[in-house]
Structure 1
């Protein structure tokens, strides 16, 4: 029995239970104490993120275990890279991730709102209100907020011929990012990329057709949108031409090498004659492969695998430019863009399987001698690449995250073209509506409604604080004006432009994003309020 964690005993009904050694020394949180522990963990995560909210929000620097440095104010990225142990804190990380996957924007706001709701829930628990009543009240208040958002939302023109409104929305998303020094340029690139690949009839955007590439060097302003594919490779031989026009492309997933014996037998070369015969056989095979590609009418071979110097030299002699070691995703994108077929064997190559591109050129960068291939004027012009330049890897990675957020926002507008106004105008309007609704409720849920209203106000308070304004004074003033003027577009003037009207400032957010923030934050808070105990798999409680 010495190796067992405890002793087995039986109650009067013959049911077994384990008596644990040192049970009186073991601590376990249950009931309200457990809830308070959960709330504290979630609030600490929300408070960490609160300072990153808004256009004047601060960045966080994360250093990974192997010394990689990331500087960002993207909520999802910060939480993903934080080393979180507490189970409830991990739920907050997942909350931010689900907002990022679904919407792509508002990842910081959703965590700050969830933290504020839990802070309010703690005060209600101290008043003796049962957590289930609080959770139900929050859910009703969230439904009321969503209904109010739909009421104050504006319809938004998504027109291929007038992209200005979309660019303004993308600029709102990029306002808090590191790329805001070339604010408009990045917004235009994101909008043009989405509108190029968007299917306006189905109101759908296929993100698979938008590739984001980055290359260290140059300035952020050198970022361009390429209507085609950019591949981080160069021509296999330095003497091959750097610019090709009206190119017929053979896309191969078979290597330029002689077939190997598929059996376990090995080939012994014992004499010079044998070696010469083998060399001639190899040369003959290479010749045959190159001839098959040329006969199909190809003027460029793109190969997923490598080929040795002999094959490379032969390709140069036969005047067939080639690119080797092109990765799987790039191969697929090239096939989509050029209208070609991916060919797994040389024998299957035929003229109808070739892709077409109007221009293939090799770019070289400054003193680093880096090369990249650009495939443009393709058959399917809907495949695009955003090519980002920047001073170092960290800037490029943050620019990629920022562009992703902007792409997602424009995509959301194509899918659902309703918008609300940013600068926390929507949150303040919802807080007022929920507070008014609370006056009509006679049951206990009215406390949860008022708490929800107060939690919504934490977003404008954080925005004002991060912008260097007096939080309470600014919020009170905007709230009073919203009630007096009945204008739901009044928000926090973060950029100090002299007007609180977000319609004038063109600070726009998608309705879908705002609704999702409120719904996701409420669902998580409801889940946390229903957890009054945590049992881990290695728990020694043997019930």
Structure 2
């Protein structure tokens, strides 16, 4: 009996599991060498020649052209980690691949998929308890946040600037929009500009617009300036109905032109009479209006996007006005400084010290477009992990120490688990061990010897991580070296990796159709 169409194909049983696990392991392996402070970068080249150089796991997986459905699940793991936490994407992807690899060995020992799934979920629950137990009993102050940011960016392609310099910028940005344990992440903007070293990255207490003055004669710098935001078209009025006018003489043409000129002059005069010093306009403005505004020393930027106009209004306290007749001092905002700076062929507008400023901008610099893109990714991830630390109020030792503790606790509690499920619980611990082992391998150390030393140090002191300094990687206390991670990064990585690996392990039939 023919059930499927002739164009369909079906893979069942062992072959289906092997295919899915092989795809998952291949994706995991593609990012494994990027893990840790000594991780390497990947160069990704698209069909049209665009090049991306990064060691950010989420970016790598997003840029790869992946077709296998099981491999796509691991991409989803990285995307979820990126959206929820902002960091730990490589950890989540590598752990998923290792869990699949351990599951493959269990299949060969005739362990049923359901038993593997149950064991993995029980091990994940134990891992969550171990993470909470590892959380440091300390106040999450500026110093802790600095260490979290620095740990997040160490080893990433940040050009000529060390992680500690960028970490301070990140912490200052988060502190500026923090209220208790709440962080208004949307109020932190990133603006990038190539052409200078990464060390020129700075925090702007306000916003930066990729816009320039509408006329060359307009001022390039204003201090203690009043600001208006206009949703008004400053051009000659036109009717709603298409109509043709007959001009019979030169006098009629002159009168029409003078009428238009007067209308435009009135727009500029009406704005100038209010005393405003800078106007940001979402609609188009006639060049003649702009020339009149320039003559009166008024800075104008037209054609703003709705989001940029909203940002200006929020940063300065200005009200968005839809009719020039409503423009008055009551609708103005104010700023300490507006400055226009030229970068190569680009001009950017800096709006700083607004009266109602609730936003800051990290102005990211880099010598080339590739460098500035990677610095931007590093800063974005660091902002997310620092914000997560503030919101969850929990950090754990980094450098593999949390993973060593998790694996140790899972093995201890596995003894109390009966039946074949104990095998899958222990397999979960072996998969966790692959993370510090990978850190050691990427740092140039012997992975087996390092893992043995880490376990011994953990048994002795209760806290052991792999500290990469100079050209060596030594076992030590990560807390003493200021290597800290948000506890939520570990929680999310374990959770998402477990869910993805168990979902793939349960598949025993793959049906595809054209």
Alpha-carbon separation, structure 1, partners of 2:250 and 2:256: 10
Q: Does the Cα contact within 8 Å between 2:219 and 2:297 map onto a contact in 1?
A: no
Alpha-carbon separation, structure 2, partners of 1:535 and 1:53: 35
Deviation at 1:471, TM superposition (A): 0.3
- Aligned with 2:121 (options 122, 136, 139): 139
Bigger shift: 137-146 or 441-450?
Answer: 441-450
Alpha-carbon separation, structure 1, partners of 2:241 and 2:48: 43
Q: Does the Cα contact within 8 Å between 2:450 and 2:475 map onto a contact in 1?
A: no
Three-state SS of the structure 1 residue aligned to 2:155 is coil
Three-state SS of the structure 1 residue aligned to 2:218 is coil
**For residue 68 of structure 1, what is the aligned residue in structure 2?**
50
Alpha-carbon separation, structure 2, partners of 1:441 and 1:269: 97
**For residue 392 of structure 2, what is the aligned residue in structure 1?**
416
| Aligned: 1:93 with 2:72 | no
- Aligned with 2:486 (options 480, 499, 510): 510
Three-state SS of the structure 2 residue aligned to 1:214 is strand
**For residue 448 of structure 1, what is the aligned residue in structure 2?**
424
**For residue 468 of structure 2, what is the aligned residue in structure 1?**
494
Deviation at 1:27, TM superposition (A): 4.9
Three-state SS of the structure 2 residue aligned to 1:380 is coil
Number of aligned positions between the proteins: 511
**For residue 29 of structure 2, what is the aligned residue in structure 1?**
47
**For residue 173 of structure 1, what is the aligned residue in structure 2?**
152
- Aligned with 1:307 (options 285, 289, 308): 285
Q: Does the Cα contact within 8 Å between 2:151 and 2:485 map onto a contact in 1?
A: yes
**For residue 221 of structure 1, what is the aligned residue in structure 2?**
199
After the TM superposition, which parts of structure 1 deviate over 4 Å for at least 4 consecutive aligned residues?
Answer: 17-21, 266-271
Bigger shift: 277-286 or 184-193?
Answer: 277-286
**For residue 12 of structure 1, what is the aligned residue in structure 2?**
none
| Aligned: 1:433 with 2:413 | no
**For residue 173 of structure 2, what is the aligned residue in structure 1?**
193
Alpha carbon RMSD of aligned pairs, Å? Answer: 1.8
Bigger shift: 395-404 or 175-184?
Answer: 175-184
| Aligned: 1:255 with 2:257 | no
Deviation at 1:127, TM superposition (A): 0.8
Three-state SS of the structure 2 residue aligned to 1:402 is helix
Alpha-carbon separation, structure 2, partners of 1:268 and 1:528: 76
Three-state SS of the structure 2 residue aligned to 1:172 is helix
Alpha-carbon separation, structure 1, partners of 2:397 and 2:355: 40
Residue deviations 1:128-156, cap 9 Å, x none? Answer: 11111101110000001101111121134
Q: Does the Cα contact within 8 Å between 2:272 and 2:293 map onto a contact in 1?
A: no
Three-state SS of the structure 1 residue aligned to 2:467 is coil
**For residue 333 of structure 2, what is the aligned residue in structure 1?**
355
| Aligned: 1:399 with 2:399 | no
Deviation at 1:271, TM superposition (A): 4.5
Deviation at 1:461, TM superposition (A): 1.0
**For residue 236 of structure 1, what is the aligned residue in structure 2?**
214
Alpha-carbon separation, structure 1, partners of 2:309 and 2:137: 40
Bigger shift: 43-52 or 175-184?
Answer: 175-184
Three-state SS of the structure 2 residue aligned to 1:505 is coil
Deviation at 1:519, TM superposition (A): 0.6
Deviation at 1:30, TM superposition (A): 1.1
Bigger shift: 401-410 or 385-394?
Answer: 385-394
Q: Does the Cα contact within 8 Å between 1:182 and 1:220 map onto a contact in 2?
A: no
Deviation at 1:352, TM superposition (A): 1.6
Bigger shift: 355-364 or 282-291?
Answer: 282-291
| Aligned: 1:341 with 2:315 | no
Closer, same or farther: CA 18–108 of 1 in aligned 2, 3 Å: closer
Q: Does the Cα contact within 8 Å between 1:431 and 1:454 map onto a contact in 2?
A: yes
Three-state SS of the structure 2 residue aligned to 1:225 is strand
Residue deviations 1:444-464, cap 9 Å, x none? Answer: 210011100100011011110
Closer, same or farther: CA 502–274 of 1 in aligned 2, 3 Å: same
Residue deviations 1:260-293, cap 9 Å, x none? Answer: 2212334555643343233222222212222332
Deviation at 1:498, TM superposition (A): 4.7
Alpha-carbon separation, structure 1, partners of 2:22 and 2:248: 77
- Aligned with 1:371 (options 339, 347, 371): 347
Alpha-carbon separation, structure 1, partners of 2:415 and 2:110: 21
Q: Does the Cα contact within 8 Å between 1:156 and 1:417 map onto a contact in 2?
A: no
Residue deviations 1:23-60, cap 9 Å, x none? Answer: 9xx75211232111110000000001100000000000
Structure 2: tracts of 5 or more residues without a match: none
Alpha-carbon separation, structure 2, partners of 1:217 and 1:279: 46
Structure 1: tracts of 5 or more residues without a match: 1-8, 10-16
Alpha-carbon separation, structure 1, partners of 2:18 and 2:89: 24
- Aligned with 1:458 (options 416, 434, 444): 434
Bigger shift: 372-381 or 514-523?
Answer: 372-381
Alpha-carbon separation, structure 2, partners of 1:55 and 1:268: 76
